[in-house]
Structure 1
Amino acid sequence: GLLYPFGPGAGDRSTPREDDGMSPPVALGRPFVFYGRPHRSLYVNNNGVVSFGVGVPEFTPHPFPLPGHRPFVAPYWADVDTRRGGDVFYRESRDPELLARLADDLRPAVAPGDPVPRPTWAFVATWDRVAFFGAAGKKVNTFQAVLAMDDVTAFIMLNYGDIQWTTGISNGGDPHTGLGGIPAQVGFNSGDDVHYYNVPGSRTPAVLRVGHTSNVGVPGRWVFRVDRFTATEGPPPATTETAAVTQGPPMATRATSMKKEEEEASYICG
């Protein structure tokens, strides 16, 4: 009941059914202001990310903040493979009914003294029953990101349906349960190397329960105002992995797809 309408009946387009795929660049009818910068286009990435300026084919989630000026929202950054099941839908909307519902649902996220949101534009991206890379069972996830703007404020809403897996096999996950290894990342990265937010439980087994947690008192829903600089955490723990990421090595992409395919073939063959 948390998710906004989606699918062909709602006028959605869909991304290609492929591993590590994404939409073409989507030109927006109005700029979306994300951490002080207006963005006029975005990508909807199969691996659980909505990104600005550049697509995100990487299948291994890294903790925020990321180096390299890469602004994006991660409702559930993990190794999705829609060839094995599911669809990724998206659309822009100015539908009055949708905007009225958004106005009501955003109200709990407004701090005292801040203007009441009155959205005039929205973008809805939905990952519907998507499988993970190397899946040998029927575990699927459903989740959604909603971007909303009025003349003053910009918000991001993350909605969660049934979350059944956290990890694909290339990141150490079990092919039957989709658990273990490096679990999914949830949050957003501003792209300025400073401001970011990791939803509690990200990249730990606890992310499986993101559909039962909230920052607005509605289990399965997280809402953030993102036009200005807020919701920045302290620095992440200084682990070996964090230090490596801070130095900016290339993240895993389809350039390493041969490794993914070899892992999958090895599992299938025995």
Structure 2
Amino acid sequence: MPLAFTLLLLLLGAAGGAHEEGEKASLLYPYGEDQGDQKNPKLDDGTSEKLTLATPFTFYGEEQRDLYVNNNGVISFGVKVNHYIPDPFPLADGRAFLTPFWADVNNVLGGDVFYREATDPALLGDVTRDINQYFPDVPFAATWAFVATWDRVAYYGSVSEKVNTFQAVLTTDTKKSFIIFNYGDIQWTTGEASGGDAETGLGGTPAHAGFNSGDDTNFYNIPGSQTEAIVNVTDTSNVGVRGRWVFQVDDFKVTGVPPEPPKVVDINNCWL
């Protein structure tokens, strides 16, 4: 595990202590059918229909007007992403998408994938308050949000009761855009077809969390992606709130993440 990521885990652990499941779940903004959410079909590697946005959303400098919510932990612009084995970023094939937890979800075996566009004042007020807290130097008042939630979803080939709950929130004031990843409970990282263990949901090619612009330059990988450490994403953050990662994405900026430490040279043995 990279030293910077290990230090981040230690610092967060020292600052916050152990989180109970209920505390983690409280990070998620309200979701579900009682909030007016739509639900994806029960289909392995399934996806939503093409969703035309009421408000354009700017991602890596490009205005996006439609998206798909893909069962496998991906929100993609303009094109479906139903591949179940996560690929390392960058993917320079023109596809722009974000991955709160790209892995082989199977909602046939358990869980639901919810989504909605939202302009209700209560949600926008909560989102605005949070963005203002994390980015105090960036004037922002949300006028629109899109909330996608993977609620207690199982993995492909599962013979266990392990499930994951996580959420992605897109929000804009029509000029500046932000994305919030909330992690309620992460118990597995890998489906059986990705080389994972059917009983533990671990091993193989673990999940990927991050952002891909579609070119070979602009992308971001949340620390621990595609390693066993991603199961601990509920204990990490770039905004001081365990289980939450927040980024300004109109002109993508990485904030609050420790830089990789410099290499140490052993003069005696000439090792790096």
Alignment TM-score, normalising by the size of structure 1: 0.83
- The alignment partner of 1:143 has SS state of strand
Cα deviation, residue 192, structure 1: 2.5
- The alignment partner of 2:217 has SS state of coil
- The reply on whether 1:170 has 2:196 as its aligned counterpart is no
Cα deviation per residue 1:133-176 (whole Å; 9 max; x = unaligned)? 00011100000000000032100000000100000001110001
Aligned to 1:196, which of 219, 222, 243? 219
Q: In 1, distance between residues paired with 2:245 and 2:181? A: 5
Residue 208 (structure 2) aligns with? 185
Q: In 1, distance between residues paired with 2:111 and 2:252? A: 35
- Native 8 Å contact 1:69 1:193 kept in 2: no
Cα deviation per residue 1:19-62 (whole Å; 9 max; x = unaligned)? 00000000100101001111110000000000001010000001
Cα deviation, residue 189, structure 1: 0.5
Cα deviation, residue 230, structure 1: 2.7
- Native 8 Å contact 2:56 2:174 kept in 1: no
Residue 93 (structure 1) aligns with? 118
Aligned to 1:116, which of 139, 163, 181? 139
Aligned to 1:213, which of 236, 243, 247? 236
Cα deviation, residue 108, structure 1: 3.7
- The alignment partner of 2:108 has SS state of helix
Q: In 2, distance between residues paired with 1:206 and 1:187? A: 14
- The reply on whether 1:75 has 2:100 as its aligned counterpart is yes
Cα deviation, residue 127, structure 1: 0.1
Residue 90 (structure 2) aligns with? 65
- Residue segments in structure 2 that go unaligned for 5+ positions in a row: 1-25, 260-272
Amino acid at match of 1:63: P
Amino acid at match of 2:45: D
Alignment TM-score, normalising by the size of structure 2: 0.83
Residue 262 (structure 1) aligns with? none
Residue 35 (structure 1) aligns with? 60
Q: Stretches of 4+ moved more than 4 A in 1?
A: none
Q: In 1, distance between residues paired with 2:185 and 2:134? A: 23
| Identical pairs, percent | 57
- Native 8 Å contact 2:59 2:252 kept in 1: no
Pairs within 5 Å for 1:102-113: 102-110=127-135, 112=137
Counting matched residue pairs gives 232
Cα deviation, residue 105, structure 1: 1.1
- Residue segments in structure 1 that go unaligned for 5+ positions in a row: 235-270
Amino acid at match of 2:63: P
Amino acid at match of 1:99: L
Residue 149 (structure 1) aligns with? 172
- Native 8 Å contact 2:113 2:151 kept in 1: yes
